[in-house]
Amino acid sequence: MKLAFNPASPYARKVAVVLHETSQIDDVEFSEVVLSPLAPDAETAQKNPLGKIPALERPDGVTLYDSRVICAFLDERAGSGLIPSGARRWETLTLEATGDGIMDAALLVTYEARLRPAELQMEPWTDAQWDKIMQACTALNTRWMSHLAGPLDMGQISVGCALAYLDFRHDARGWRKGHDALAAWYETFSARASMQASRSPEA
């Protein structure tokens, strides 16, 4: 299988962490792609019409996207139970959506600062995205700690990669303030071999 990825992408990192955690890392060839909404990559657009990474090309020629679909596929392929069945399933998927939502809001902040000319940037809009991130961190810190402390699942992986991305691109904003329990959980989670092996370039 061939994975279109970039080491700066928290979505691609989710996939890399799943590959490590489920011992499938040697089944995938990593193909690094540099792209943005203003500088699309033609080859990626042929595989994923949305022009985004990660995209996973299977040997049968089918390409899977987005990261949630790829991770669910890899989990089923390995039978690893990162997306459990039963009652914990819906909690796990909601937690994954929370981590992915943090990534989405953080990526909007990144693109606003990096892609939009300074005179067109809208601070209240950026602040509104950051508010979403802080609200999500507060919810994780107050309501999700017992789930985060449980067996490894897709929700934890998403949250771990999202927090790593905040450190990577938005360190100065200080997401840890007021989120002590979450910060302590992240310190332990980020020490996992799968997280260490998939570190962002400058993280």
Which positions lie near ligand 99T, rule CB under 6 A?
8-9, 11, 35-37, 40, 51-54, 66-68, 107, 110, 169
Least distance from ligand 99T to the Cβ atom of residue 22, Å = 18
Task: Copy the structure tokens of residue 65.
Answer: 């996207």
Q: Nearest 5°: CA angle at 191, between 166 and 75? A: 85
First to last CA, the chain: 27
Closer residue to ligand 99T in complex, CB, 54/160: 54
CB of 53 to ligand 99T, least distance (A): 4
Closest CB 149 distance from ligand 99T, rounded Å: 25
Assess contact for 174 and 144: CB atoms under 8 A: no
**What's at 84, amino acid-wise?**
P
Nearest approach, Cβ of residue 198 and ligand 99T (Å): 14
Residue with tokens 């910060």: 183
Distances (CA, A) of 200 to 81, 114, 116, 136: 26, 18, 23, 22
Name the residue nearer to ligand 99T (CB basis): 49 or 151: 49
Considering beta carbons, is residue 141 or 175 the nearer one to ligand 99T? 175
Nearer Cβ to ligand 99T (37/124): 37
> CB-wise, 38 or 118, nearer to ligand 99T?
38
Sequence-ordered list of residues with C-beta below 8 angstroms from that of 137, at least 6 positions apart, any chain? 102, 175, 179, 182
Q: How far is the CB of 62 from ligand 99T (least distance, A)?
A: 16
